[in-house]
Amino acid sequence: MGADDGLIDAELKRDPTDEGQRHAAAARAAHPTAEAKEQVWASLMEDSTLPLATLRSMMRGFHRFDQRRLLEPYRARYFDAVARLWKERDIEVGLAFARMMYPTVVVGEETIRATDRYLAGQNVPGPIRRVLLEAKDNMERAMRGRAADAAETVGDRVSATR
């Protein structure tokens, strides 16, 4: 257990309600360690007894924009897992996973290509296809925004040197 776990445990002891448990699950999922991410991933994949609200809290905590390096390995794992969860779990869990675990933090062409490869496969369920198309569109929009910001910054630097 890390130092943060002690704080989370103390807060959970103070608030042992369902809401407190969900907050604790999200906080543990947000830990910036490979071990924490792996533990969350394993729970999402293997523990079918967890309530949907807890799963959602874990998923919410999992992705942090300052943790890109930790999350890069989960890009490929996401595409391996999304169909499995769709088949093995109920529709709510499958959709929550598809939406919330899409590798939004790993913005880049490789994520777009991985999405395209998955969508080109056979038997992609309609709801999953829709979620992935929307996620891909959001990522492409983010990439265009970053490119525009970068171009503007370069333009500002050129103007400042004149």
pLDDT digits (tens, 9 = 90+) for 18-68: 999 999 999 999 999 999 999 999 999 999 999 999 999 999 999 999 999
- What's phi and psi for 30, nearest 5 deg? -80, -10
- Say how many domains are in the chain: 1
What pLDDT digit, counting tens, does each position of 54-92 carry? 999 999 999 999 999 999 999 999 999 999 999 999 999
* CA–CA distance, 102 with 135 (Å, rounded to integer): 7
Give the structural domain span for 98: 3-160
- Which residue bears the tokens 């807890």? 54
Cα-Cα-Cα-Cα torsion 48, 49, 54, 59, nearest 10 degrees, comes to: -20
- Among 97, 108, 99, 95, residue whose Cα is nearest residue 69: 108
3-state secondary structure of 97: helix
